[in-house]
Structure 1
C-alpha cells in the first residue's frame, strides 16, 4: 500500500455463513481487524499497518475476536489442531427453494377412477390422474420428476366431513381427497427451474391395499408409477399433445411420501426389469415405510426422516440407506437426513389442518409434548416444514438430475443450509460414490484389519433384544422401536439380522480400550481424499458427556488426534420428552450421524503414508455405536437402472407330512450370478395362518456363483390331526447382498394329508 501498510486477502472455497457478527481476519492466531467481504462472498480483505503480517504463516477467519478452533473457543488436540467446522451450518450461495426464470403452466390429466388395473392390487381398478407443473417456454426435453403421495383416506363427505377408505370409486355422497395436489409448493419451485413435475393420485390403492395386497401396496404403487411414466412417454411422442417433445424420459426423478416412499423404490426396481428402462436417476423417499426391506443400488438416493413423525414414528425408511450401503458395489451418493421438529403429514398441504380442503390432522400427539407438541418451541410450523421440505426435495433433484453441485453440501454430511430452510435443524448421514471412497472398516462384522480391545463391551450388534439369535449381541434393549430407527424390525421381515454396527461401552476400570484399524497395501496414501469419515451415535445407556478421540499414525510414528466433540455434535443426545406411552418415550432416538474430518486439517501426520487409525474413549465413561470408517471425497455419481440380478421367490404347495420336515421353494434369478449372493428368508411372516405347521423364523440363503436359480428349504412341522382346510403361509425374501429383490413375497400352501 502507498502509506506503507499491508493488504491481507483471504480467498474462500465457499461463502461464509450468514451471521449478525462481522467477519474478521486473524494472522497466525492474532486478530488484525474486521474484514471487507467481496460481492461474491468468496474473498475477505483487511488493510492494516501491523508490521507482523508481513511474515504471516497462517490467515484465518475470526468471529467476535475468536478464531474458531483456538484455545479460547474449543478444545483442541495437542497433536493436531482442527477448526470445528462440524459445529456450524455452512450457508450455501444458491437456494434451491427460490423461484427460477420460468413461469409455470398446469397441464393436468384425468383418465378416470378406473383407468387402470394393477396386478399388485389383485387386479382391482385404480385411477390415472395427475397434476402437471411445466415450465412455460423452456426449450427442448426437460427433466421429469414424479411425486407419489402416501396412504391417506381416499374419500370424504364434504357435508358431514366424514371420511371413507374402503370404497373405490368413492361411495355415494363422498368425493375423492386430492392428496396428489398437496406438493404444489415444491413442484412449482422445481418447474420454475425447468423441470416437468407430475404429482399422481393413488387413492384407488389407498382404499384397497389393506386387504388386497401381499405387501401393503408397495408393488401396486410401483406399478402405478410405471403406468404414469408409460402414459407420459406416449404423450411425449404424440404430435399435437401439450407435452409432445417436452419430456426427457432418460432423466427421471421419483419422490414418494410415506407408503409412496416404498412405492417409488419398487418402481425403480420394476423399471430395472424392463428391456428398455426409463432413466430413473434419483429417488427420494420422504418419511417412508419399509415393510419388506428391499435394497436400491445404482440410484442416488436421499431419505428424509422427520424427527417428530407420529405416524411412521420408528423412521423405518432408514433401512433403505442402511441395507443398500454394501449390498452391491455401485458408484452413487446416498444420504439420510433427520429433520428436527417435522412431523409426518405437514409436507403435504392436503394433510395439514387449516390448509387442507378435506379433513386432516397433526399426526404427532400429545399436543402438549415439550419437544414435538404443536406448541413446543422446537416444533416447526406447517409452513416452516413445507419450506424445509422444498429445500431438500428441490435441492436433491437439481443436484442429481441437473448437475447443480453447489447443493451437494446439503446431502454429503457437510451440514449445508440455505435461508429458505429457516431455523430447521437437519442432521445427515452420507455415503459417497464407490469411486470416490476408500472403505477401511465398515464395522459390520469382525475383520482381519480391525482389533477391538479393552472395552467393557466391544461387540458387533444388530436389532433389538427380542429379535436377535441366541448368542448374538443386540444393539438395544428397548422395546420402543421408535427410539432406534436403524434396528426397527420390518413388518414382513421382523427377525432379519441386518444393519450391524460396532457397539462400545467403557468405564474408568476399562483397560486401554481402543479400536485399531490397520491400513493395507496401497491404502496409506489418503492425500487425494477430502476427509476421513465415519458414522457414530451415543449409546442410549450412557450417562453424562460422551466423547471419542480418533488418531492417525504414519510410517514414521507421527500422529494426529482429533476429538469427535470438537468437530461434530454426533455424540450429543437427541431431545427427549417426558410424555410416554406405556412408560416409554418415543423420543431420544439413537441415530448415527456422519462425522467428517478434513484431511487438510490432520496436521502433523504424513497423509501419504498412514499406517493405522485408532478410536479411543475421550471421556472417562460412556458408550457409542461406530460404523463405516472410510476416506472419501463428496460426489454424486451417475445412476440409472441397476444391472444387478433380480431374485424372486415362487409360490409352492406341499403336503404337511406326519412330523418334522421341509418344504422346497424355488428362487428364480433374472440372470446368471457373477458372484455368490445371499438373501434373508422370513417364514410365516405377517399375514400368514397361525395354525403352526410353518414356524416363524428367519435364516440366510446363499446362492452360488454361476447360478441361474436356487431352492430353499422351509422348516415344516407335520402332524396326524385332520384339518378341513389347507393353510397358507407368507414367505418373504429380503435384505439381499449381491442381488436385488424382484418379487419378494410368496405363499406356501400346506395341504392336509391325514385321512378322515
Structure 2
C-alpha cells in the first residue's frame, strides 16, 4: 500500500503591501510583540524577510479538539549541563541581521557578504537539558520501504531530551515558540540522542524548543525479524551457528533452553533489520509531536499528579513552525514523517495484540499486556477486554494517530527537513511536498558508503508546479559520518578500508576535518537552515541562496575562509527557476537533439533518473547508448566511490582542447531571474574548468570563467588562488585519484547574470559551455535560470534598487522559504 498525500496546498499567500510595512514597523518599535491579529497566543517575534516577495508557506491545520482531554503523564529529570548558561552572557551583543563585507557589493560578484555566526546575538538563555519519558507509542515497523507490507506493531517509548529558552516560563506576553526535533540513526552507542546537544543549546538560546528523540527501541526492534526462531536454533548444527556468530564461543553456556534463548538473542541483535524501512522512525517523530501537542493543550504531570517540569510548555509551542533533522537512518525517518504528515498509517489495538501473541518474549517489559493476550486467539475479544484496556493505561501506552474518517490527519506545520548523511530507500512516488529540504553529504562518509543522500536530493529536487519549497544538497569535504553526533566518536572514514586514502586521517595529504571542526561546520549549516526556514530569520537567507561566504566560526580552527570545504547546490521551487536544459525527456521533450550541438566531444551518453517503485525498489540508471567508462564505478558490488549522483544527466568525454556544448536559446528572456546555474560532476581528472559564454540576439557575448564562481569543479577542497592552477595543472597530491577513486557528485555552478557584461539578458540567443583542458570527462545537468534574490539583497545593503509602490491595493508576494 503506497502512501498517498491526502491533498496539496497552495503555498502562496498574498499580503497587502501596506499591512506588511506596518507589521515590520511595529516589530522595530516593539521586539517583544509579534505583529499579529490573534488576540490569543502570538508567535515568537523573529526576524522578518528582507527580500521583497518572500513566500510564507500555508499555515498548518491544527485541531486541538483531537487532543486527549488529560495531561501527559511522564517522568522528567534534569541532566546536569557540563557548561551551564551564564546569566551575564545574554544580550551582551547587539542584535544584527547580517555581516557586511563592503558598503556597496559588486552585483557581479560570487559573494555579496559573509553569513553571520549562528552563536552570536543570543536573545535568550537556555534551560539545562531535561530528559523525559512520556509514555509508550504503538508504532509500525516494516522491512519494505516501498509499500510497508508485512508490517508489525512494536512499542516505542517516547523518550529523549529537551531544551528550551529559560525565559519561556517567565514571559508576560503569551507567545509561542517554534519546535525543532532531532532523530539519531542506528548505532549501538548508548545515549545517541544526547549527541546533538551542541545544536540544541544554540537553538534554545535563539528562541526554539528543541527535542532530541531516543530511537533505541526502533533500532533494536525485532518484530520484523522472521527467522530463525527457537525451534530453528535447537535444530541448527554447530557449524551453522558458528558461521552465523563468528568469534563467539557458542558452547559457552550449558545446553538447554537458556542457551537457545541466548544464541537467538545474539543472532537477532546481529541480523535484525532495525526497522529497515524507517516507517517506525517517521511515526516516532509524529508520535512525539502528538505528545508535545497534548502537553501544549493539557500540560504535563507526574504519576503522583503534581505538575511536571514540562508543564511550563503548556500554551507555548508553535506547531505551525516545525523543523526536523535526521541523521543516518534518522534521515530516512524524516522523509517518512514528511510522507506521512498528511495521511498516516494507523496502528490499532488489534495489530499490537497480534504482535504480542506472535512474539511475546519481545514484549517482556510490558508483562500486563502479555498476560492480557493469553487464553484466546480472538483479537477482538483480547482488545475489548477490561484486562487489555487496563494494561494499556498501566503501561502508559497510546496508538500512533491514524487518519480521520475524512481521510485526513492533523497537519503539523513542517517548515524544514534536514537529512544528515541519510539512508534512503523506498518509493519515489510519494515525495515530501511543500517543505524545504536539505541533504548533507559528508565527503568522507565511511558508513553510508553508497551515499544515499545524493539519491535523496536527486529524486526530490523537483516538486510539483505549485511546490515553491527549495531543495539543497550540501557536500562537506573531509567530513565523516559519525562526528556530527558528539557521542559517536569512532572515525568511520579511517576505519573503512575501501574508502579513498584522502579520507583517512593518518594518510599523507588527507583532507579530513577534526571532530571539533566538523561539528562547528554542522552547527552553522543545521542551525542556520532551521533558523532561516523555520524561524524566518532572514540574516541567513543570503547563505541559503548561494550569495554569502561561510562565517569564520564554521571553518577549521575558527578562522579564515573555507568555502571550498562546503559545496552548496540550490534548487529553487516553482516559479523561481526556469529550465534551459535538464537532459530529462519528460521535461525537455526532444529539445536535446534539436537545440544542443556538441563539438570536439569524443563520446557522450544521455542517462535517466532511476525511479524506484513497485515492484522495483532498487532501480539503476540507464544510459543511451551506454554509460561512459569514466562514470562506471563499483567496489564490492556497490558504488562506493566514483560517480554517485543519479540525476538525469549528459555524460561527455573529450581528448582535444576546447570541446564544447552549445545550447540554442532562441530569443530567451531572463527577466525575473538573477543567476545562470548548472550542475557538473568531474569524473576525469580531478579538476576541470568551464568557460561559460552567453550571446544575445545582437551577437553580443561575454565569457565567464566558471571556477571564479564555484568550487564544484574540484573533487577535493582545493582553493583556486592557493592550491591549484586551473585548467592546465592539477594539484600534485591529486594524481593518484585521477582514475575515479574520488567520490564524485553533481554540484552547482551559479553565475550572476550581471556578470555577463554588455549582454542583453532580455534577448538571449545562445549558451556555450567550453572545456579548455585537453582531455576530460564530465556530467552536466539542470541548466537553469534561477532567482536567488540578489537584487533585493543588494538593495537592502545599498538602499537603492527597490521601487516602492504607493498604491494601497498593490500586493506583495512573500517568499520566506
TM-score tier after normalising by the smaller chain length: 0.5 to 0.7
- Alpha-carbon shift at residue 614 of structure 1 (Å): 2.3
Q: Which position in structure 1 is the counterpart of 2:25? A: none
**Distance in 2 separating the partners of 1:265 and 1:60:** 38
- Alpha-carbon shift at residue 442 of structure 1 (Å): 1.5
Q: Any idea what SS the aligned residue of 2:434 has?
A: coil
> For the Cα contact (< 8 Å) 1:545–1:622, is it kept in 2?
no
Runs of 4+ in 1 over 6 A off after TM superposition: 212-215, 575-579, 583-586
> For the Cα contact (< 8 Å) 1:553–1:559, is it kept in 2?
yes
Structure-2 change in CA distance of 1:415 and 1:593 (3 Å): farther
Bigger fraction of residues in strand: 1
- Alpha-carbon shift at residue 543 of structure 1 (Å): 4.0
In the alignment, does 2:194 pair up with 1:181?
yes
Structure-2 change in CA distance of 1:482 and 1:633 (3 Å): same
* Correspondence for 1:224 among 275, 284, 287: 284
- Alpha-carbon shift at residue 115 of structure 1 (Å): 4.9
Q: Which position in structure 1 is the counterpart of 2:596? A: 451
In the alignment, does 2:712 pair up with 1:570?
yes
> For the Cα contact (< 8 Å) 1:530–1:598, is it kept in 2?
yes
Q: Which position in structure 1 is the counterpart of 2:680? A: 536
* Correspondence for 1:597 among 726, 730, 751: 751
Mapping 1:596-635, distance limit 5 Å: 596-634=750-788
> For the Cα contact (< 8 Å) 2:139–2:153, is it kept in 1?
yes
- Alpha-carbon shift at residue 505 of structure 1 (Å): 1.5
- Alpha-carbon shift at residue 194 of structure 1 (Å): 0.3
In the alignment, does 2:416 pair up with 1:282?
yes
In the alignment, does 2:358 pair up with 1:262?
no
- Alpha-carbon shift at residue 234 of structure 1 (Å): 0.7
- Alpha-carbon shift at residue 343 of structure 1 (Å): 0.9
**Distance in 1 separating the partners of 2:482 and 2:625:** 37
- Alpha-carbon shift at residue 485 of structure 1 (Å): 5.9
Q: Which position in structure 2 is the counterpart of 1:526? A: 670
Q: Any idea what SS the aligned residue of 2:185 has?
A: coil
Q: Could you list the per-position Cα deviations for residues 524-571 of structure 1 after superposition, in whole angstroms to 9, with x for gaps in the alignment?
A: 221432211111121x2x348632222212121211222323433322
- Alpha-carbon shift at residue 598 of structure 1 (Å): 0.8
Q: Which position in structure 1 is the counterpart of 2:649? A: 501
> For the Cα contact (< 8 Å) 1:318–1:485, is it kept in 2?
no
Higher RCO (CA < 8 A, seq sep 6+)? 2
Structure-2 change in CA distance of 1:118 and 1:573 (3 Å): closer
Q: Could you list the per-position Cα deviations for residues 422-450 of structure 1 after superposition, in whole angstroms to 9, with x for gaps in the alignment?
A: 23511111111322222211223463263
> For the Cα contact (< 8 Å) 1:536–1:594, is it kept in 2?
yes
Q: Could you list the per-position Cα deviations for residues 195-214 of structure 1 after superposition, in whole angstroms to 9, with x for gaps in the alignment?
A: 00010100111112673769
Q: Could you list the per-position Cα deviations for residues 591-632 of structure 1 after superposition, in whole angstroms to 9, with x for gaps in the alignment?
A: 122111111111121112112222233333222211111111
Bigger fraction of residues in helix: 2
Q: Any idea what SS the aligned residue of 2:703 has?
A: strand
**Distance in 2 separating the partners of 1:369 and 1:548:** 26
5+ long unaligned stretches in structure 2: 1-49, 52-96, 143-150, 226-271, 300-306, 344-407, 557-561, 611-618, 718-730, 791-817
In the alignment, does 2:478 pair up with 1:341?
yes
Q: Which position in structure 1 is the counterpart of 2:140? A: 118
**Distance in 2 separating the partners of 1:204 and 1:270:** 20
* Correspondence for 2:504 among 370, 373, 376: 373
**Distance in 2 separating the partners of 1:462 and 1:552:** 27
Q: Any idea what SS the aligned residue of 2:341 has?
A: helix
> For the Cα contact (< 8 Å) 1:297–1:324, is it kept in 2?
no
In the alignment, does 2:611 pair up with 1:435?
no
Instruction: State TM-score, norm by structure 2.
Output: 0.58
Q: Any idea what SS the aligned residue of 1:237 has?
A: helix
**Distance in 1 separating the partners of 2:435 and 2:750:** 23
Structure-2 change in CA distance of 1:392 and 1:485 (3 Å): farther
> For the Cα contact (< 8 Å) 1:429–1:594, is it kept in 2?
yes
> For the Cα contact (< 8 Å) 1:567–1:597, is it kept in 2?
yes
* Correspondence for 1:301 among 424, 437, 452: 437
Structure-2 change in CA distance of 1:42 and 1:220 (3 Å): closer
Structure-2 change in CA distance of 1:324 and 1:544 (3 Å): closer
Q: Which position in structure 2 is the counterpart of 1:205? A: 218
In the alignment, does 2:166 pair up with 1:136?
yes
Q: Which position in structure 2 is the counterpart of 1:479? A: 634
Structure-2 change in CA distance of 1:289 and 1:584 (3 Å): farther
Q: Any idea what SS the aligned residue of 1:350 has?
A: coil
**Distance in 2 separating the partners of 1:470 and 1:560:** 33
- Alpha-carbon shift at residue 414 of structure 1 (Å): 3.6
**Distance in 2 separating the partners of 1:245 and 1:422:** 39
Q: Which position in structure 2 is the counterpart of 1:246? A: 316
Structure-2 change in CA distance of 1:482 and 1:544 (3 Å): closer
* Correspondence for 2:494 among 336, 341, 364: 364
- Alpha-carbon shift at residue 42 of structure 1 (Å): 4.5
Structure-2 change in CA distance of 1:374 and 1:565 (3 Å): closer
Instruction: State TM-score, norm by structure 1.
Output: 0.62
**Distance in 2 separating the partners of 1:285 and 1:346:** 15
Q: Any idea what SS the aligned residue of 2:698 has?
A: coil
State which drifts further: 447-456 or 298-307.
Answer: 447-456
> For the Cα contact (< 8 Å) 2:296–2:316, is it kept in 1?
yes
> For the Cα contact (< 8 Å) 1:99–1:192, is it kept in 2?
no
Q: Any idea what SS the aligned residue of 1:227 has?
A: helix
Structure-2 change in CA distance of 1:422 and 1:361 (3 Å): closer
- Alignment size in residue pairs: 517
Q: Which position in structure 2 is the counterpart of 1:236? A: 296
**Distance in 2 separating the partners of 1:91 and 1:43:** 5
Q: Which position in structure 1 is the counterpart of 2:132? A: 109
Structure-2 change in CA distance of 1:543 and 1:200 (3 Å): closer
Structure-2 change in CA distance of 1:366 and 1:283 (3 Å): closer
- Alpha-carbon shift at residue 484 of structure 1 (Å): 4.3
Q: Could you list the per-position Cα deviations for residues 632-676 of structure 1 after superposition, in whole angstroms to 9, with x for gaps in the alignment?
A: 12269xxxxxxxxxxxxxxxxxxxxxxxxxxxxxxxxxxxxxxxx
**Distance in 1 separating the partners of 2:416 and 2:732:** 36
Structure-2 change in CA distance of 1:468 and 1:626 (3 Å): closer
**Distance in 2 separating the partners of 1:43 and 1:398:** 22
Mapping 1:542-553, distance limit 5 Å: 542-543=684-685, 546-553=688-695
